[in-house]
Amino acid sequence: MINSKLPKIWYGGDYNPEQWEQEIWREDERMFKLAGIDVATINVFSWALNQPSEHDYDFAWLDEQMDRLHQSGTYVCLATSTGAHPAWMARQYPDVRRVDKNGHKRQFGGRHNSCPNSPTYRKYSAAIAGKLAERYKDHPALLIWHVSNEYGGMCYCENCAAEFRVWLQKKYGTLEALNKAWNTRFWGHTFYDWEEIVPPSDLSEEWGHNRTNFQGISLDYRRFMSNSILDCYRLEYDAIKQHTPDIPVTTNLMGFYPELDYFEWAKYLDVVSWDNYPSLDTPVSFTAMTHDLMRGLKSGKPFMLMEQTPSQQNWQPYNSLKRPGVMRLWSYQAVARGADTVLFFQLRRSVGACEKYHGAVIEHVGHENTRVFRECAELGRELQQLGDTLLDARSQAKVGIVYDWENSWATDLTSGPSVALDYVKEVHKFYHALFDLNIQTDMIGVEEDFSKYDLVIAPVMYMVKAGFADKVERFTEAGGTFVTTFFSGIVNENDIVTLGGYPGELRKVLGIWAEEIDALFPDQRNEIVMKGQWGGLKGSYECGLLCDLVHAEGAEVLAEYGQDFYRGMPVLTRNKFGKGQAYYVASSPDESFMKGFLANLCEEAGIQPLLAAPEGVETAERSKDGRSFLFVLNHNAEDSELELGGNKFKELLSDAELAGTTTIPGRGVLILERL
> By the criterion CB under 6 A, which residues form the site for ligand GLA?
149-150, 252, 275, 277, 307, 313, 345, 355, 358
What burial class does residue 646 get, using C-beta atoms within 10 Å of its C-beta: 0-12 exposed, 13-18 middle, 19+ buried? exposed
Residue 232 is assigned to a ligand binding site: no
Q: How many helices (H) and strands (E) does the chain have?
A: 17, 27
Contact 560, 529 (CB under 8 A): yes
What CA–CA distance (Å, rounded) separates 649 from 9? 22
CB of 345 to ligand GLA, least distance (A): 4
Task: Give bridge partners of residue 226 from the DSSP assignment.
Answer: none
Partner whose footprint covers residue 80, from Zn ion, ligand GLA, none (CB < 5 to 8 Å by kind): none
Rounded Cα–Cα distance for residues 67 and 63 (Å):
6
155 marked as binding residue = yes
Nearer to ligand GLA, 187 or 315 (CB): 315
160 binds, among Zn ion, ligand GLA, none (CB under 5 to 8 A by kind): Zn ion
Q: Is 477 helix (H, G, I), strand (E, B) or coil?
A: helix
Q: Of 317, 331, 310, which is closest to residue 376 (Cα–Cα)? A: 310
Residue nearest to ligand GLA (CB): 275
In this structure, the number of other CB atoms found within 10 A of the CB of residue 653 comes to: 13
Are 85 and 127 in contact by the 8 Å Cβ rule? The answer is no
Q: Least distance in Å: CB of 281 to ligand GLA? A: 17
150 annotated active-site: yes
Decide if 375 is catalytic.
no
Binding site for Zn ion (CB under 5 A): 115, 117, 155, 157, 159-160
Question: Within 10 Å of residue 328's Cβ, how many Cβ atoms?
Answer: 20
115 binds, among Zn ion, ligand GLA, none (CB under 5 to 8 A by kind): Zn ion
Evaluate whether 465 touches 505 at the Cβ level (below 8 Å). Answer: no
- Identify the burial level of 401 via C-beta atoms within 10 angstroms of its C-beta, where 0-12 means exposed, 13-18 middle and 19 or more buried: buried
Comparing CA positions, the residue from 124, 460, 443 lying closest to residue 272 is: 443
By C-beta, is 309 or 411 nearer to ligand GLA?
309
Partner from ligand GLA, Zn ion, none binding residue 20, C-beta < 5-8 Å depending on class: none
Residue 149 labeled ligand binder = yes
Min separation Cβ 226 and Zn ion, Å? 14
Q: Which is nearer to ligand GLA, 231 or 355 (CB)?
A: 355
Q: d(Cα 359, Cα 349) in Å, to the nearest integer?
A: 7
275 binds, among ligand GLA, Zn ion, none (CB under 5 to 8 A by kind): ligand GLA
Q: Find out whether 534 is annotated in a ligand binding site.
A: no
Distance from C-alpha of 224 to C-alpha of 219, rounded to nearest angstrom: 9
Beta carbon nearer to ligand GLA, 343 or 469: 343
Which partner, ligand GLA, Zn ion, none, binds residue 157 by CB below 5 to 8 Å per kind? Zn ion
Give the H or E element holding residue 227. Answer: helix 215-241
**Taking the complex as a whole, how short is the minimal distance between the CB of residue 349 and ligand GLA, in angstroms?**
11
| Nearer CB in complex with Zn ion: 159/640 | 159
- Contacts of range 267-273, beta carbons closer than 8 Å, 24 or more positions apart: 268/230, 268/233, 268/234, 268/237, 269/297, 269/298, 271/2, 271/144, 271/298, 271/301, 271/302, 271/303, 271/304, 272/297, 272/298, 272/301, 272/303, 272/304, 273/146, 273/303, 273/304, 273/305, 273/306, 273/341
Query: In sequence order, what are the residues at sequence separation of 6 or more whose Cβ sits closer than 8 angstroms to the Cβ of residue 432?
Result: 283, 285, 286, 289, 591, 594
- Judged by beta carbon, residue 108 or residue 277, the one nearer ligand GLA is 277
Selected catalytic residue, list 163, 206, 236, 307: 307
Residue 155's binding partner out of Zn ion, ligand GLA, none, with CB under 5 to 8 Å set by partner kind:
Zn ion
Cβ contacts of residue 394 below 8 Å, gap of 6+?
300, 302, 338, 622, 623, 624
Among residues 376 and 582, whose Cβ is nearest to ligand GLA? 376
> Among ligand GLA, Zn ion, none, what does residue 277 contact (CB within 5–8 Å per kind)?
ligand GLA
> Is beta strand 580-585 parallel, antiparallel or unpaired with respect to 481-485?
parallel
Nearer to ligand GLA, 372 or 669 (CB): 372
Q: Is 543 annotated as a binding residue?
A: no
Neighbours of 574 (CB within 10 A): 21
Asked whether residue 157 is marked as a ligand-binding residue, the answer is: yes
115 is in an annotated binding site: yes
Q: CB of 229: closest distance to Zn ion in angstroms?
A: 10
From residue 118, give the alpha-carbon distance in Å to each of 122, 200, 228: 6, 19, 10
CB of 353 to ligand GLA, least distance (A): 10
**What are the binding residues?**
111, 115, 149, 155, 157, 160, 315
Binding residues for substrate: 111, 149, 315
Indicate which residues carry an active-site annotation. 150, 307
Binding residues for Zn(2+): 115, 155, 157, 160
